[in-house]
Amino acid sequence: MRSLYITCCLFSITSAAFAEPINYSDNTAKTASYSLTPNNRYNAGNAQYNGNSSQVTTYAAPAKSSPYKNPDFDLNVGIETGYKTSELKWNIAGNYAGTSPNILSELHWDNVGGYEFQPNIEYTQKTGKLKGLNLQGSVNKSISITGDNQDSDYAGNNRTGEFSRSNNDSDAGHSEGFKASVGYAFDFNSSHKKTLARFTALVGYSMQNQTFVMRDGNQTIPATGPFAGLRSSYDMEIRAPFIGAELTSNFSEHHHLKIRGEYMYGQYDGTGHWNLRSDFAHPDSFEQKANGNGYVISAEYGWQFSPRTQFTLSSTYNYFKTNDGKDKVFFSDGSAATTRFNEAEFHSIDYMAGLNYKF
């Protein structure tokens, strides 16, 4: 028993000599107490943990570019449909000198209206050596469903001595054309690289063809009334290079306003088929040629209702007037005669709605 008592006392004295109290305010001791903390660094999602400092640092996710905007180019493909009205008038003299009389015959088509369909495409390069390159193209097709025509003949100068007039329907016909341009686009950007406006200078070429008809004839001078069998037509074509400018303003994130103007100088061609004139050749009874100039003004509103798709409303006014030229008549016996083509004046306006898709 005495030896066991002595052994326990020695154990207690030894333990007391080597034991030290833990200081919980000592960081060294605290670190030692959590020796299982890893010394390497590891990532957990967007948070980074540093084992040596016991700190967690949160990273901001890297900014991603918008999946709906290509940083190198803009490519838009659109389609529009709406209503178009046209007006055409022209007159000829009695001879090539422009006399006997100075206005022998004059025709006027008014309120020729119908539905129009127009696809279009536009490409703009935003980087590289070709930065600013702008390419545009469009085609159009319309069907006429309403309109009026007047055909007058005069015996004296300056529209005096009118001896024949017919007032006819022009509720049929069609038109088609295309336009292509190349230009330079300059963007006005904000401090955040957001495009506030784009100015584009351009040159291009356009062609517009329209067929005007005359039917359901009604003779008003002399007043003999309706007559049967009228199925005449007149094909007009304008081919002209042009210069122009376009300004697009983005007045909010989802809305824009575009204004465009063009000046053109080119060739006018007209071909008539007068089906009731037995002394004329058929189908080409006469042809007219002249140079002329004109302009086009258009405005467009766009609403970006989804990241890639835009709704548009637009209107375009087109005007062209010729100088004097030649009118060549082909007779049924194979002969021909030439007189002076005094002038032609054409204008149209359309009202369109459409969708534009951004690639």
Domains, the chain, with CATH or none: 23-64 (no CATH), 73-358 (2.40.128.90)
Write the pLDDT tens digit of every residue in 115-149: 999 999 999 999 999 999 999 999 999 999 999 99
What's residue 225's pLDDT? 97
What's the rounded mean pLDDT across residues 287-298? 98
Average pLDDT score over residue span 20-47? 45
* Rounded Cα distance, 185 and 209, in Å: 30
Length of the chain as a residue count:
359
pLDDT band at 189 (very low <50, low <70, confident <90, very high): confident
Residue 346 has a pLDDT of: 98
**Over the stretch 223-249, which tens digit does the pLDDT of each residue have?**
999 999 999 999 999 999 999 999 999
Give the pLDDT confidence of 140-156 residue by residue, as tens digits.
Answer: 999 999 999 999 999 99
From first CA to last CA, the distance across the chain in angstroms is 99
Q: What predicted TM-score, i.e. pTM, was given to this entire model?
A: 0.79
Residue 259 backbone phi and psi in degrees, to 5? -125, 135
Q: CA 31, CA 27: separation in Å to the nearest integer?
A: 6
Check residue 13 and give its pLDDT.
Answer: 44
- Pick from 32, 62, 70, 25: which is nearest to 46 by CA? 62
